Chain A
Amino acid sequence: MLNCADYRRAVLADPQDADPLLRLHRDGCRECLEYTDRLLLFESRLERAMRVSVAAAGDARVAPLRTPAGARASAAPGGLKARRGWLAMAASVLILVAVAGALWLAEPHSSLAADVVAHMAGEPQAWARTDIPATAPELAQALGDAHLRLDPKAGMVSYARSCQFRAHHVPHLVVQTEMGPVTVMVLVHESVSKPERFDEQGYHGVILPIPGHGSLAVLARGQIPSPDMLKQVASRVQDALVWTG
């Protein structure tokens, strides 16, 4: 059995520690419960403090868009080499256009889903199966920017962040459901004309249109009982969204 000092040492090192022994102590000790509440408030402020604005820090420049042929041509001296360079560049442009066309034909509808899945890969910690709810300040912070609140009928929210997605801050929530943790992203700035289902990289999801408010992405990871169940969960979450502005 933990004493108060052991408990506080543990939560000061990791306030999100889901160890059942810690929970047992917290449930039976009013002082430590209050201590934890204050610490979690501080933790919420700390996380927001760490999320400095980096929007003005320039666009990502992952790598120069340059083909090997183009690169060689630009380094070659002399008129003939320069002309060859221009030809190589023109050919590169044609290839790029052809490739872009091929990509467009191959996956005309998947880019939003692909970006949502790529975003998931960046926040693996969000998928923990837990019975510890996100704090009220976390939830308010995540939903506030989108002028939104969530009715409790959606289920217990265990993770709530305001995330950068396609140059906008969007609410990113994890709701614990009967089929395990389900991620919800409210994409106010992304419209879809009809529900779209996707299965990518082990994620199963659906993007639903929200008339007048963009769209809603709901994803589950790994095995899911059935696609219909995912759709039911998505509909329930959609019904629980309450727009405040």
Chain B
Amino acid sequence: MNDQVGGNLKRNRFHALCQSLRPDLLRFAFWLSRDLALAEDVVQEAMLRAWKAQDSLLDEGAAKPWLLTIIRREYARSFERKRLVTVDIDELVAREEPTLATTQADDLAELRAALFKLPDEYREPLVLQVLMGYSTAEIAAELNLSNAAVLTRLFRGRNQLRALCGEDTRRDPEEC
């Protein structure tokens, strides 16, 4: 009985942990895939995989990167399972309009549409840094890149994004 209580306690904690992390994980999957329905499927599958493998998570503090890695793998698997159709960015933006829309007074919707237009290799490290709070070294480890390559991608990604949003980039430096 004690083992069962302990097991249930552990499972409840794991469930609470996943619940608390889920919104950000779903956002990450959304920016990865640019498709909310696909992001939900990916996160759901990833949560099930995480649930089955929960014993391999030794430190709850590492839960977020652990889950995030599972989500990235699950997203990659979604390419293996089905052939994804190439779509026009404007169509993608129009399709995800309810998610990209904002009721706030500023122009977040424009920024969101610009994020959709960023190439994957720039968007993903940027989302890891800004939304998930990853350091350069953590992004490098997650994406299997060198620190220098990550910094270059972040620099280019931010540059392109600012230009797409009409920011004043005249005083931006040239890339090395």
| A interface residues, Cβ below 8 angstroms from B | 4-6, 8-9, 12-14, 31, 35, 38, 42-43, 45-55, 57-58, 60-63, 95, 99, 102-103, 106, 114-115, 118-119, 121-126, 164-165, 201
Contact = CB atoms under 8 A, between A and B. Distances in A.
Interface stretch (B19-27, B69-77, B79-87): B19-27
A63 B11 CA distance: 10
A54 B26 contact: yes
17 contacts: A4-B173, A5-B174, A9-B155, A12-B159, A14-B151, A42-B162, A45-B106, A46-B111, A47-B130, A49-B108, A52-B99, A60-B19, A63-B51, A99-B4, A103-B9, A122-B20, A122-B24
A172 to B, nearest CB: 12
A14 B129 contact: yes
Interface in B98-138: 99-100, 104, 106-108, 111-112, 115, 126-127, 129-131, 133-136
Contacts of B130: 43, 46-47, 50
B154 A13 contact: yes
Contacts of A31: 171
Given A5-B174, A52-B27, A63-B47, A45 B111 contact: yes
B176 A9 contact: yes
A49 B115 contact: yes
B63 interface: yes
A32 to B, nearest CB: 9
A88 B140 CA distance: 49
B112 A53 contact: no
Contacts of B50: 62
Given A5-B174, A103-B8, A50 B64 contact: no
A5 B107 CA distance: 29
A13 B151 contact: yes
B142 interface: no
What are the 7 A-B residue pairs with the smallest beta carbon separation, nearest first?
A125-B133, A5-B173, A49-B111, A63-B51, A13-B151, A13-B155, A50-B131
Nearest to B22: A60
